[in-house]
Structure 1
Amino acid sequence: MIRSSLRARLIVSFGLLALLTWCVASVLAWDQTRSHINELFDTQQMVFAKRLSVIDPGHLRGEGQLRETKKTVRKFRGEQDDDALAFAIFTRNGDMVLNDGDNGRDFIFNYQHDGFVDALIDDSNDPWRIVWLASADGEHVIAVGQEWEYRDDMAFAIVSTQLLPWLIALPILLVLMIVLIGRALSPLRRIAGRLQARRPDETETLETDNLPSEVLPLLNALNGLFIRTGAMLERERRFTSDAAHELRSPLAALKVQAEVVQLSGDDEHVRLHALKNLTIGIDRASRVVDQLLVLSRLDNRLALDDAETVQWDALLQSTIADIYPYAAQAGVEIALKREGEPAPLRGNSVLLSVMIRNLLDNAIRYGQAGGKTDVVLTVRGFRVEDDGPGVDAEALARIGERFYRPPGQEKTGSGLGLSIVQRIADLHGLQVTFGNRPQGGFRAEVNG
């Protein structure tokens, strides 16, 4: 659940982060507070020792001690610890002449130099912080001590007082975090609900109003996917419609010719004529299917993913050689001429060959029988010219539309050849223009 849920991962991550932050803050607070408390109490001990060091030693006769603090005032003595502060005064020989009546009487004389030392006292295993200081006359030594446990307890009390409320607030913070994360992720839930409610064929984009900027890239990507899916579905519907429209007539003609063959009986002439028409119909249907499949594959390509460097001269010669037998059968001569040398092109040589072949096939099909087709290399690309009748201005404006054929055409065709030419040119960033030659005939020009 945690691995698959973004909400759970965020809650756990932020919860652990808050707990880790609290722990780090506690350690730092403890260290800083303990350091400041030690500095404060060291100062207090030193000041107290200095005050004791100016006591007149002449007033000290024999060993003496103050009354125990807890017995000084039996009532209303307040909160007081025995180890908060203790002192003792020794002679240079180590004889105790005065103590505080509490823990000071257990001090062990171990004076070596003025300053702070850590030591133990009688009847206790707890370490003490003791400052030693010689008196002003040099005859006595003052010891003022404080138990380390007292300092640590004081530091812990201060730190816990400050951090305990934050520890108590952690569950509240976690609850608020869960609520805020839930609200922050609510746009994703709304988008998921809208996606779940969509129909399979629905391609409308999702609204992007009032959405966080972090969610917008995801929604924009989804909308882009819907647009591409919609375009693909439209192409598929158009392909199905085009195929049904264009194949209806050839298939009907094939059916008629097949019926003629069946009804011809012993009339060989009628049967052979029907079989010839049947073959022509099959060839036309096959050509329509091939052209439709090529156009469908081209429509589904958004870019060239297998580009290579293509030399126009070599590609034109290769394509002309491939189509030359078909041209010779039609009695059409194909000539390659040069008016310039175009720059090499980055593209798909197979698709470019299909484009050139369709232009040559169009020129051979609609040019004069026994005529001539010229392929001319130019600085920017090439052009294909035939010596046919050309097309009128109205038809010229629609040349290249799918399934459009100028009226009055007697040659068979699907009206897809020049559409394929334009689609391949678009994929390669080329521009195709159609027009009539001044001396007569049709011209198709491809420029980079």
Structure 2
Amino acid sequence: MKLSLKLRLTLLFLALSLAAWFAASLVAWQQTTDKLDKLFDTQQMLFAKRLLTMDLDEIRAPERMREVPKKAKHGHLDDDALAFAIYAADGTMILNDGENGRDIPYHYRRDGFDDGRLQDDNDEWRFLWLTSPDGKYRVVVGQEWEYRQDMALDVVSSQLTPWLVALPVMLLLLIVLLSRELKPLKKLAQTLRSRSPDATDALPTQGVPAEVRPLLDSLNHLFARTQEMMIRERRFTSDAAHELRSPLAALKVQTDVAQLSQDDPQAQEKALAQLHAGIDRASRLVDQLLTLSRLDSLDSLDGVEQIAMADLLQSAVMDIYPPAQQAGIDVRLHINAPEVTRTGQQLLLSLLVRNLLDNATRYSPRGSVVDVTLNTRSFTVRDNGPGISPDALARLGERFYRPPGQNATGSGLGLSIVKRIAALHGMRVSLGNAPEGGFEVKVSW
């Protein structure tokens, strides 16, 4: 199970704090032991030199070993702090501190620091040996290594223990602060949990941490796109229901007429022919509705390529030429810029040109000429018909709008499809009556 963000941050903080505390302890231990070693070595050296300043001959006058009398103990004393002994050149101890100093074994060695042990003791000691200037006496000052280590441990503990004690308090404060800082996220989660499935209003961003702001902006952008998609889908459903109602009603009427005309073969044949034409119109309407719906859902194009516009127009003209000839319409292609290319989807651009040619041949009277002309920055599709009135021209291109007085069947979606494909390809579509007569559609880039 995935741990919560608050718990993970708390555990990470605890692990990092303990690791930092442990690393600080090691560094503090190393530095403290080094400093204390220098301090105590210096202390031993000064004490030994001070002993050498004494009149050792007077101390040795009675040929017997003396001990420094013990003083009454007041306060905290440690007999391992320092121990000393003074030897004659022959190794006879003539003076000691009365405690550990009498157990320091005599070994002839050069002056300086050395490690060793007391007699009948396994603890490590650090000794300093010095010889008097006249060479008659040797002074040794010792200190137990454990004393130094305990002192270093006390110093380090006094420095780091408060931080270790403060760690639980810091963890508690961290949990409180995390709960406070993550409260907007918890509120956001509750808002999303109680949000209606069809809600598209933007989420509030006040009080949200800066790190979470991009997530909220992305969600709000997603909701806006979802709202646009829902509006398109609702509009498509409404338009489809409205436009399909009439063709389906006509199909039902023609079916009833065909059933009632069983005794009249001629009337029945006419009804069946109209039924067939109605099915074609309904099929064409459904295809155009589905095409327009798919185009509306596109925000960008995939699988684009460089397309030679001359080849594209030539292919479209060849496809429309047979039905145009049957309708008594001549389609002519004029290529003024054969090298022009555009980046786009071959299928969609072909659909754009086919819709323009289909509209031109469908709504032009018999004997008309449709001219398709390619220029450097545009191509045009123009017929030599009567043109369109200014009122109808202002609404041309609206979905399901067909100018009045049209005899040819249609759904009023062809130019809507053309405009949507052009917009996806960064093209502009302009509609108008040609100066020399007829209706002209210009697609420019």
Task: Give me the TM-score of the superposition, normalised by structure 1.
Answer: 0.95
1:309 paired residue number: 306
**Take 1:352 and 1:92, find their aligned partners in 2: how far apart are those partners?**
115
Q: What's the secondary structure of 1:144's corresponding residue?
A: strand
Aligned 8 A contact 2:184 2:207 in 1: no
More deviation, 122-131/317-326: 317-326
Aligned 8 A contact 1:342 1:378 in 2: no
Gaps of 5+ in 2: none
Give the % identical residues.
55
Q: Post-superposition, which runs of at least 4 consecutive aligned residues in structure 1 deviate over 3 A? A: none
State whether structure 2 residue 257 is matched by structure 1 residue 260.
yes
List per-residue Cα deviations over 1:110-146 (Å, max 9, x = no partner): 3433322221121211111112222233322221111
2:65 paired residue number: 64
List per-residue Cα deviations over 1:168-225 (Å, max 9, x = no partner): 2222221211111122211111111111111111111111122111110111111111
Aligned 8 A contact 2:203 2:220 in 1: yes
**Take 1:425 and 1:114, find their aligned partners in 2: how far apart are those partners?**
101
Tell me how far 1:22 sits from its aligned partner.
1.4
Q: What's the secondary structure of 1:60's corresponding residue?
A: helix
1:83 paired residue number: 80
Aligned 8 A contact 2:68 2:95 in 1: no
Q: How does 1:156-305 map to 2 (within 5 A)?
A: 156-305=153-302
- Aligned amino acid, residue 279 of structure 1: H
**Take 1:436 and 1:115, find their aligned partners in 2: how far apart are those partners?**
116
Q: How does 1:48-447 map to 2 (within 5 A)?
A: 48-61=47-60, 62-67=63-68, 69=70, 72-73=71-72, 76-341=73-338, 343-447=340-444
Q: Tell me how many residue pairs correspond in the alignment.
A: 443
**Take 2:3 and 2:398, find their aligned partners in 1: how far apart are those partners?**
51
More deviation, 50-59/110-119: 110-119
Residues 1:343 and 1:34: Cα distance change in structure 2 (over 3 Å)? farther
**Take 1:282 and 1:263, find their aligned partners in 2: how far apart are those partners?**
19
**Take 2:29 and 2:69, find their aligned partners in 1: how far apart are those partners?**
33
**Take 2:204 and 2:377, find their aligned partners in 1: how far apart are those partners?**
45
Aligned 8 A contact 1:257 1:274 in 2: yes
List per-residue Cα deviations over 1:143-169 (Å, max 9, x = no partner): 111101001111111111222222122
Q: What's the secondary structure of 1:295's corresponding residue?
A: helix
Tell me how far 1:342 sits from its aligned partner.
5.6
More deviation, 248-257/22-31: 22-31
More deviation, 394-403/293-302: 394-403
**Take 2:394 and 2:3, find their aligned partners in 1: how far apart are those partners?**
58
Gaps of 5+ in 1: none
Residues 1:101 and 1:379: Cα distance change in structure 2 (over 3 Å)? same
**Take 1:383 and 1:292, find their aligned partners in 2: how far apart are those partners?**
25
1:31 paired residue number: 30
- Aligned amino acid, residue 35 of structure 1: D
**Take 2:323 and 2:41, find their aligned partners in 1: how far apart are those partners?**
111
Tell me how far 1:341 sits from its aligned partner.
4.0
Aligned 8 A contact 1:128 1:146 in 2: yes
